Amino acid sequence: MTTRMTLALKFEDRGEKRIDFESVAVEDPSIVERLESRGDPQYREVVTTFRRASHRPPSYPAQLPFVPGVRAHTNEYPGTDRGPRARWVVFGRSGRLFNEVQRQSLEAGWEHDPTIKLTGLADASRVAFLRRGERVRRISEHRLGWLWTRVELEDVPARYLQGANGD
């Protein structure tokens, strides 16, 4: 079965940009679904949903923490300087997921950066900003209703944040 999806991005100064995605056949049994953007190579994106697994699947992005037993949703941006993104959702309020993603990031050489203060994360119950070289990583925990928790991770070049902290 082919999945098709369109993402509409709205920009205050440039109108709207539409990006079409289409499912891609994969042989990897650890992947539930993989979608790739079509059209403009400037907005190339690969969205993958990985099954729960006890060990890191070979096709799982090497730069991202892997949490055993938790389904992962990843976004990769081949050919750009954007780092990958990931989301994990678990039942309950346990901080274990947030702590595990943060622990693996620290073990990979990321360091806490308390100087980063960004607005727009009011819905997050916890946020950590880390830095490694010229890159910044955001890890945030979001409560979804009463019973679910989502942890998000995003890596960006540090220059993307210039001016965000009043610099």
pLDDT tens profile 88-136: 988 877 678 999 999 999 999 999 998 887 666 667 778 889 999 999 9
Determine what percent of the chain falls in helix, strand and coil, rounding each to the nearest 5: 10, 45, 45
Going by pLDDT thresholds of 50, 70 and 90, the confidence category of residue 81 is: confident
Q: Is residue 167 part of a domain?
A: no
Residue with tokens 């001016």: 163
Q: Is residue 111 part of a domain?
A: yes
Q: Is residue 166 part of a domain?
A: no
Amino acid at 17: K
Q: Is residue 120 part of a domain?
A: yes
Tally of domains within the chain: 1
Q: Is residue 115 part of a domain?
A: yes
Q: Is residue 50 part of a domain?
A: yes
Amino acid at 114: P
Q: Is residue 99 part of a domain?
A: yes
Amino acid at 149: T
Range of the domain at 133: 4-161
CA 137 to CA 102: how far, in whole Å?
A: 10
The kind and range of the H/E element at 19 are strand 15-23
CA 49 to CA 51: how far, in whole Å?
A: 7
Taking Cα atoms as reference points, which of 56, 2, 50 lies closest to residue 29?
A: 50
Q: Is residue 18 part of a domain?
A: yes
β-pairing, 111-112 with 72-76? unpaired
Tens digits of residue pLDDT in 38-72: 877 777 888 999 999 999 999 999 999 999 999 99
